[in-house]
A = this chain, B = another copy of it.
Amino acid sequence: MARPRNFDEEDVLRKAMALFWSKGYESTSLADLLQTTGLSKSSLYETFGSKRELFLRAFQLYKKDRMDGLTAGLSQPDAYLALTNAFKTVLDGKGNQMGCMTANEAIELAPHDPKLQEMVESDFYNIEEVFRQTIERGKENGSLRAGLDSRKMARFLTVSLQGINVMIRAQAKREVLEDFISVALEKLNERE
Q: How many residues of A contact B (CB 8 A)?
A: 50
Query: Given A155-B183, A162-B167, A187-B187, 10 more contacts at CB 8 Å?
Result: A24-B108, A98-B111, A107-B166, A108-B108, A111-B169, A117-B170, A121-B171, A151-B179, A159-B164, A162-B166
Inside 8 A of A23's CB, which chain B residues have their CB? 112
Considering the chains assembled together, what is the distance between the CA atoms of A159 and B111 in angstroms?
Answer: 21
Work out how many copies of this chain go into the complex: 2
| A107: min CB distance to chain B, Å | 5
Out of B97, B117, B128, B156, which one reaches A171, CB within 8 Å? Answer: B117
B104 touches A170 (CB 8 A): no
B166 touches A166 (CB 8 A): yes
25 contacts between A and B (CB under 8 A): A22-B111, A24-B107, A27-B108, A27-B112, A98-B111, A99-B111, A103-B107, A104-B107, A106-B169, A110-B170, A121-B171, A124-B167, A124-B172, A128-B176, A153-B183, A155-B176, A155-B183, A156-B184, A159-B166, A159-B180, A160-B180, A162-B162, A162-B167, A163-B164, A190-B190
